[in-house]
Structure 1
Amino acid sequence: MRRLYSFLTSVVERSLPVTGVFSDKMRLFVRGRTAVFSTLMKDLEDRKPVIWFHAASLGEYEQGLPVMESVAQQYPKHQLLLTFFSPSGYEVKKNSAFANLPDRQAGAVTYLPLDTPSNARDFLDIVQPEMVFFIKYEFWPNYLKELKSRKIRTFLISGVFRENQAFFKPFGKWMTQYLDAFEHFFLQDNASAEALQSLGFSNFIISGDTRFDRVSHQIEVDNTLDFATAFCEDQLCVVCGSTWKEDDDIIVPFINQNKGTAKFIIAPHEINSDKISLLQKRLQVKTVLYSEMDINTVASYDVLIIDTIGLLTRLYSYATVAYVGGAMGTTGLHNILEPATFGMPIITGSNLEKFPEAKRLQQLAGLFTVKDASELSTILKKLLMDKNFRTQSGMISGHYVNSNTGATRKVLEYLEK
């Protein structure tokens, strides 16, 4: 089965340049992998030991960042390598992933070559890592086989196991043997522990989700943005983060029908000029783009659309209420913990199936789900007009984050032992 898998992966690798013709994202996916090995040889310092972190995309990078920075402090003589599978992670962080690390430890940021036997061998021949950390649920059989055969210490952090994964299906049972490559699993929850145990593994602890550690640090830094301060002017402000069209379909009617109730900052998930232009046309109130605003006049607008990346986390600090996108459709809910750490109520769509942290916060009454524009209008009006209700819900969100930190410390305690 592994040989068949490897053959099919090789076929996919050879056909990818064709797919790049039809998709900008696939073009980045292909082009970024053409220079991985030369980048590794150029950027990694000879004779300096390497610690390798791998993240599927931007969300997993953010999840692994507290561990990455803490491990760097614990092993100051090592250099770090960070790989991504997806362009949405690599393209955003290729120049800033190691911003908080000393220059001597900032090794390389690259794509991960596709999981063929030759790629795995060549990659590890160059990198020769002393330790490897995979984040959440990246499982590549050929890489794991090579890591195990070379006896390289390999860990899974913030691990998630679910019954819909290949390991639990007849066609994917063969992959289970490659989980032997992991020295230890640091799992998010009891459900993952039970699932992994059913596969015959006991080398795990339930450490929790390192994203709580990541977001909890955000409140300790300076989140000031002069343009946001000028725009909000101490008025109520709703920050709508990582929104898609399905989210716009319920947010826009509220804004148009409730002018003056609050200021709105909208940060779309995709920075696409055509889609942002369409959003502007649908809004019947004064709207300005971040790229076109004047800080001296920005306060006169009702809606500010953020047509750039990298600002959303700090923008949440200005929110009275946060709306987090993705759960109105099938794309998947985006990060609710970023706004929660600032202690505010959160509204999302109702598609929470794969997001236990959102389900739990909903149970606690710090998060509210909506199915349509009418439900959004009802809960958002209540949150904006009822200060006591808003304050209580916000306190629940903040406490939820604070009470779930500590996963990073458990990883470091294991390494120290």
Structure 2
Amino acid sequence: MNRTLYTLLFHLGLPLIALRLFLRARKAPAYGQRIGERFAFSLPPLQPGGIWVHAVSVGESIAAAPMIRALRARYPQLPITVTCMTPTGSERIQALFAGDALIQHCYLPYDLPWAAARFLNRVQPELAVIMETELWPNHIHQCARRGIPVALANGRLSARSARGYGRFAKLTAPMLAEMSLLAVQTEAEAERFRSLGARPDCVKVTGSIKFDLTIDPELLQRAATLRSDWHAAARPVWIAASTHAGEDDIILAAHQQLLARHPDALLILVPRHPERFNSVFELCSKAGLNTVRRSTAAPVSAATHVLLGDTMGELLFLYALADVALVGGSLVANGGHNLLEPAALGKPVLSGPHLFNFLDIAAQLREAGALREVADVEQLAGAVSELWQQPQHAEQMRAAGLAVMQRNQGALQRLLQGLAQFLP
């Protein structure tokens, strides 16, 4: 399939896209808003020029934030336009950069030639930076036509994804050949991009900028103060974060087993997507667990079994409240989420077996003794209980995670050096 056929199929699929937006808007009304932005018909006021950064959703937006701040410091005269595809990503971007007039935001229009052209005619960037693997052939081609260099930042490409791209070589190879820089996390990923058609001299191994996460000491102090306010400084607390459908039942069943061994145990449960907040709260209630919603600001008492993290932008803070962290998206075949956030906070890290989105990071944490994988209710409950009962083991995992973080830092500076060649 070449780009012409891809574009034709994209146009034919627009009714299905509209139906998907309608169905998602029934649970998350924000999907029914700002539709014009998705076709570049009603973009907000945007200052032209500067740098365009695309981060598809929440995780990529958080990962991009240090890079965006560093670019802002290095090139203070340039506006930075940050795009995404989801309402949760949009909310996170606006919260991260509120008050900075030169960091502007809108949705990225769909990958249709005329929509991409309208968007680029408005934004007129000097450089386009795409986070991780959100590659859109028409957007990249329209940049190439205008002489706008396109860089992939923090690029990752699993073997499974590479096989998928490889099935559409007539679409993938020309797209990758039009890119000016592919800054990828590992040599294995670099080789996958080269084999798919990227120009070898444009592919650079810079590492993962997620290792360059820095923790504000004030956040740790706020977490300690809140636990003290809950009278829970010595209470066993664990967090299950970024969970997906199919995982919450496992987690709640594990927590019930933990309550049998540790009657004062507290679970902080954080669903990945806001549209699931209500349904997960109902699951907790049906399980007979006394649950407090974080959004209500109600106090956590000794009778509280679960704190439901139904707010946005607080994940690091919620991790900081816990003693042990399970990273979701891994008990089901979703590929996992960022294991480095709890590691950077000094938490023993647990996950399920499905980590194909973070194979290198998971391998490093596993080999260092900072990550333990569990597959079912019994293993999850057993691992959490063991870490509570054996603080020396928890301390070893904590120190190992921090060592992995420190050993891998520097990717952000290498990425910035690569981007500098395209900027004044």
The two structures have a TM-score, normalised by structure 1, of 0.89
2:236–2:266 Cα contact (<8 Å) kept: yes
1:242–1:268 Cα contact (<8 Å) kept: yes
User: Paired residue for 1:95?
Assistant: 94
Per-residue CA distance 1:213-245 (angstroms, 9 max, x = gap): 2xx212445341454442333333212212235
Mapped partners of 1:250, 1:141: distance in 2: 39
Q: Does 1:360 align with 2:354?
A: no
Structure 1 gaps, min length 5: none
* Overall identity of the aligned pairs, in %: 27
Which 4+ residue blocks in structure 1 deviate beyond 6 angstroms? none
1:167–1:175 Cα contact (<8 Å) kept: no
Residue type of the partner of 1:280? Answer: S
> Structure 1 residues 66 and 76 mapped into 2: Cα distance closer, same or farther (>3 Å)?
same
User: Paired residue for 1:5?
Assistant: 6
Q: Does 1:210 align with 2:214?
A: no
Q: Does 1:154 align with 2:150?
A: yes
Question: Within 5 Å, which residues of 2 pair with 1:16-415?
Answer: 16-24=17-25, 28-29=30-31, 31-35=33-37, 37=40, 40=43, 42-45=44-47, 49-90=49-90, 92-93=91-92, 95-99=94-98, 103-107=100-104, 109-163=105-159, 164-165=161-162, 168-198=165-195, 199=197, 201-202=199-200, 203-213=202-212, 216-223=213-220, 224-225=222-223, 227-231=226-230, 232-256=232-256, 257-260=260-263, 262-271=265-274, 272-284=277-289, 286-292=290-296, 294-295=298-299, 298-356=301-359, 357-415=361-419
Residue type of the partner of 1:106? Answer: I
Structure 2 gaps, min length 5: none
Mapped partners of 2:94, 2:270: distance in 1: 22
Secondary structure, in 3 states, of the residue corresponding to 1:242?
strand
Per-residue CA distance 1:304-334 (angstroms, 9 max, x = gap): 2222222221121122111111111123312
Mapped partners of 2:291, 2:164: distance in 1: 49
The two structures have a TM-score, normalised by structure 2, of 0.87
Secondary structure, in 3 states, of the residue corresponding to 2:188?
helix
Mapped partners of 1:243, 1:167: distance in 2: 26
CA shift, 1:301, in A, is 2.6
Mapped partners of 1:18, 1:301: distance in 2: 40
> Structure 1 residues 314 and 113 mapped into 2: Cα distance closer, same or farther (>3 Å)?
same
Per-residue CA distance 1:161-183 (angstroms, 9 max, x = gap): 34433675243333211223322
CA shift, 1:124, in A, is 1.0
Per-residue CA distance 1:7-54 (angstroms, 9 max, x = gap): 1112223543334343327974564331454654x4213xx5321001
CA shift, 1:209, in A, is 0.9
CA shift, 1:71, in A, is 0.7
2:330–2:351 Cα contact (<8 Å) kept: yes
CA shift, 1:110, in A, is 1.3
Mapped partners of 1:2, 1:301: distance in 2: 55
Residue type of the partner of 1:121? Answer: A
2:166–2:172 Cα contact (<8 Å) kept: no
